[in-house]
Amino acid sequence: MRHAIPGGKALRRTIDCHESATPARPAPAIILTSGGLDSTTCLAIARAEGYSPLYSLAFDYGQRHRYELQAAERVARAFGITEHRVIRIDLRQFGKSALTDAIDVPKDRDESKMTAEIPVTYVPARNTIFLSYALAWAEVMDVRHAFIGVNSLDYSGYPDCRPAFIATFERWRTWRRR
């Protein structure tokens, strides 16, 4: 399912894909939240489509900018999330990303360069790891719906924001059921 939002951005829902945009009765959902526009929009979409209760999952993965975690907490409170969890994992040990290593974050990049190669701000396998945690929590809580906000039209070269990645994960999640 794809939701278009102003500015040409698109959000993809993953982990459960079904025919109806609105659940027949209130169904719980887990929303991966970063405190940013895409995940906050996903949270608003989940609530507008009638998912309830809503749970949010954020990650302290060793990122240099701590304000994202504070924003995710504020968004969870503003939306009245039933439970907001912050998972601590250390992706700094892998390095090679300006978000987790001592590498400068590029400023004022040329638009053609943004999509020509994987940028230095890409954190290897980050969304795969986040979605795996969402699957684990969903299985424990018997939640069948989860949302991730990725910008699939303007993904800046991140492999784990591409529509093909989301489609692959949607297929992968089907065997996680007990």
> Each residue of 18-69: pLDDT tens digit?
323 456 678 999 999 988 888 898 899 999 989 999 999 999 887 767 788 9
Q: Which residue has the higher pLDDT, 112 or 159?
A: 159
- State residue 84's pLDDT score: 97
Task: Find, among 107, 70, 63, 54, the residue nearest to 89 by Cα.
Answer: 63
- State residue 11's pLDDT score: 39
CA dihedral 26, 15, 6, 34 (to 10 degrees): 100
Across the chain, what does the average pLDDT equal? 75
Token pair listed for 42: 């996903």
pTM (predicted TM-score): 0.76
Lowest mean pLDDT among 37-51, 81-95, 109-123, 161-175: 109-123
As to burial, measured by CB atoms within 10 angstroms (0-12 exposed, 13-18 middle, 19+ buried), residue 107 is exposed
Q: Which residue has the higher pLDDT, 91 or 72?
A: 72
- State residue 77's pLDDT score: 96
Q: Considering Cα of 92, then 95, then 97, then 98, what sign does the dihedral take? A: positive
Determine the 3-state secondary structure of 31 from DSSP. strand
Q: What is the pLDDT of residues 96-126, one digit of tens each?
A: 765 666 666 667 766 666 566 777 667 777 8
Q: Which residue has the higher pLDDT, 4 or 106?
A: 106
Rounded to whole angstroms, the Cα distance separating 59 from 69 reads 7
Which strand (E) or helix (H) includes residue 138? Answer: helix 126-141
Indicate if the pLDDT at residue 156 is higher than 70: no
- State residue 65's pLDDT score: 72
- Determine the Cα angle at 135 with ends 148 and 48, to 5°: 40
The residue with tokens 């040329």 is: 110
